[in-house]
Structure 1
Amino acid sequence: MIFHNGVLTDPETGRMSRISFTVKRGMITHIEQDPDSEMPNGAVDLTDRFIIPGLIDMHVHIKEGFAPLFTAAGVTTVRNTAGNVIELETLRSAAADAPTPRVISADRMIDGPPGLWGDTSPWSFVTDDPEKVRTEVNRQISQGADLIKVYSLLDRSSMAAAAVEAARGGKDVSCDLLYSTEVTAVSAAELGIRWNEHASGIIQDLYPGWHMGAPAEEWERIDWEGKNEAEIRTVCRKMIDAGVVLCPTITLFDQQRSLPDFWKPEGAEHFLTPALKRQFESLAEHKEIFNRVGQHGRFNQTVSRLYKELGGTVTAGTDTPAGVYTYPGLALHRELELLVDAGFTEAEAIKAATSTAADALGRHELGRIIEGAAADFVVLEKNPFEDIRHTRSVRKVVKGGRLYLPEELVKAVPDEEEAVKKSKAFAAAFKD
């Protein structure tokens, strides 16, 4: 298949150029710069269209029931940061040109008692025994987990055990420290935990005694605008020196902070299944709680900007479908807008969701439009370098070399009753 005369908006260089390129067996095999205006027979005409690499959402909790919605928004790869790799096997083993995103996944989260999301289940393993943590890490690696996820209530010794055992198995560890009272962002980095989700644990470094369950007076003493930049820089430098990759999930918090006037772009209703709509509507009733938690959004924007300025790696993720109205796929476009609002250029924001993300994953064939790369890319009607909101002007999506229209991907969402039935059957059959 030949794609002819599109405008490549390259986030790695920040430059634009007219190109034609050939796709064979799901890969980009040849790129021609400044092609002739005459279109080859059978080619896809991209004249006056803008091309970006397929987007990568670096923090999701995907299910089959809404997976095609990511692809419909131009998100061709996701990093699933807790779930169950057995449940997700159909998505993970799907063909490269499937209408669902490529899935790089953790298995169930490893948490401390009593378990923030309840006791041990197919999606969560709860213990305070470092030896049981080691056993669980090895079980997850044997099941094919791409990374290990540790959660807020896990104590320091158990978190250390997870990091050591994962390293032995050649896997990275990702941490969510929002509710942690014992482990901070810096101490997690010192344990060898490579991925920091939500920019979590940084507030605990700056304000000892604070955590998500802390009393109101602890919340009130925090500068949520992040004006204490010197102190934040000190924490960031320590994390960067340890090689920590940051995934701030700003949109997760911004949607909460903005209730009831949350971000709802045109066409958002097409990116909600009935189940997600019910879930978000029910959660949105807890406006006051979400408004307080949502203060992290402003703080995380400051952290993201400083982390980038100091040379750290910042990736773009959303935590879809956590929180409220984190629309599958669409939420990543909001994350890019919030990164630009924080001080990123348009090209830097898109890069955080393409080549930077791919390189952090060690998947250098993703997130770029070059010869030898996977043929995952998005065709836009408008120039995203002029306005980051133009990444939402998705005209076509190419995944693994197959051309899709957004509307056909929206229609590919499976029947809800069948998806629920399948999930319940999995939970009933799961064995530790």
Structure 2
Amino acid sequence: MENLRNIWKPELYRIQLEAPKPYCIICDNCTDKPEFYGKEYHGIMGHKEATLRLENEPNGAFLIRKGNEFNDFYTLTWRFNDKIHHYKLYYDGTHYIKDKRYDSIYDLVADGLITTHMELRARHILEMINSRTSYTESPYVTLNRRKLNTLSQKQQVTRPTPIVKTEESNTLEFEKRPSFDLTPSFEDNPLLIKYTKSHSFKIHTFKGLNWCELCANFLWGFTAQGVKCEDCGFIAHSKCSERVPNHCVPDLKKLRGVFGIDLTTLLNAHSSTLPFVVRKCVNEIEARGMDSEGIYRVSGFADEIEALKMAFDKDGEATDLSQFSNINVVAGTLKLYLRLLPVPLVTYDLHPKFVQASQLKTPSDQVSLLRGCLELLPKAHYNCLQYMVQHLYRVTQMAAVNKMGAHNLSTVFAPTLVATPPAVTDLACEIRALQALIEYCPLIYYGAQ
């Protein structure tokens, strides 16, 4: 704890210790109390009678009552700051106030006393937290320099330059510049890219002393003191969490397997540019399946696909694909991985523009629109889609043997790669757009050979 004293700001903690503790005023002879209250319930009791009952009690004293027999709610009356206060109570299986829930009325009162005490005694600190805190000036960043370095590592991905359509003809011209090529040789020259990912904050009840990782102030309260990211464990006040940038680096220990995990979350957790499932499957297929007739169209055995899926979830990068002699099992597992992504590679937001490309008449217009709309994809989706399309383009180069041209492949992959609204049942437009993406891959990505 010694090395944390210069980082953690203990003022809020000291102020919380001064908050009054709940002191229940007991009623032993109440016969009509509801099942969710105990001896703190005093039955029907008016405002004045409750005030008199608590007048000589210490701060923190409380009781619960019903104002009159016609009320459909109960009232909490407590003494705080030498004054009597009255509050409506809410219960729907648990006691709650706004988004905070409590297992018992004691927890609610304890948290309420702390909250009102902090608002009274620590207002200047709370106003400072809500108005001045910035992530880059956070004391937590100073303490965790290694984490900051991890979060701040960035490498620019070279994206295709805009297409220029000449006035003299309908041809396409490109500026000559280095391309971002994600061919199978990628594993020999890994690109360390951190994808932007927002935190998955959920209200959390912390045990023991905890402080906000943004402002370094104490997480005050009796319960539900703040929020915690379900992916990386970042802790913050609810207000502070609204200003935390999208630098979530998920903890591998919090992820269960690799299938069905958000793409950006998975790649950040593994410090990878591409999901290893996709890379390993593509490499295996390009090594021994490019001449397999009906590759991706012919189904592998379901039990073997499930076995390979479990192996990926268990062994990760170390998974041995050579033990699966049927290449259609590898292809089926790759399709399964892509199909189980919570958000497909071509996202819901991009779907309208993607479909629009299929309705354009000239190849140059299709290529121009496809390149423009792909730029709107999240980086993780952009890179993975590029890798897959480059691979599928290479598959089409052997269509004379494997019988899988661009149309056949797009028919197989459109339901998997393209996020389609539930109301859409006819995928003709999606198939045509994906077919154009595959056929014009060298022009769109300017990197496939």
Larger Rg computed on CA atoms: 2
TM-score w.r.t. length of structure 2:
0.22
Q: Which has the higher helix share?
A: 2
Q: Work out which structure has the larger RCO, using CA pairs closer than 8 Å and 6 or more positions apart in sequence.
A: 1
> Per residue, is there more strand in 1 or in 2?
1
Q: What TM-score, normalized by structure 1, do the two folds share? A: 0.23
